[in-house]
Amino acid sequence: MLYLAAGGGGAGGLTPILMIALLFGVMYFMMIRPQQKRRREAEQMQSQLGPGDEVVTIGGLYGTVTEVDDDIVLLEVAPGVQTRYARPAIARVTTRAERPEATEPVAEEADAVKE
């Protein structure tokens, strides 16, 4: 009788560990992984900013990008009014500016550049 109350099998000690592992797995796939994906998308959007893009800042200010530096973006918020923002302060791009496609140099031009 004492044996049944004390032991009961080896699986009883493994169940709490499996529950904790399952909890961490669910938290990873439901919370951590989607947040990392959103952060990567935001970094990619901010790295592709260029003059002429219409953007919204995290504060809700609408403007047009006039100049992009390493970490600073100049926005024109009204005719003749420019403000400086840190690149991570850009929340989203509302309209992308038309930019010419970057083409590969012709082989003859590439050879001329090397010489």
CA distance 6 to 8: 6
| CATH tag, 49-99 | 2.30.30
Per domain, the residue ranges of the chain are 10-47, 49-99
Mean pLDDT of 100-111: 54
pLDDT 10s digits, 20-79: 999 999 999 999 999 999 999 999 998 899 999 999 999 999 999 999 998 999 999 999
Mean pLDDT of 101-107: 53
Identify the pLDDT of residue 1. 47
For residues 103 and 63, the answer to whether their CB atoms sit within 8 Å is no
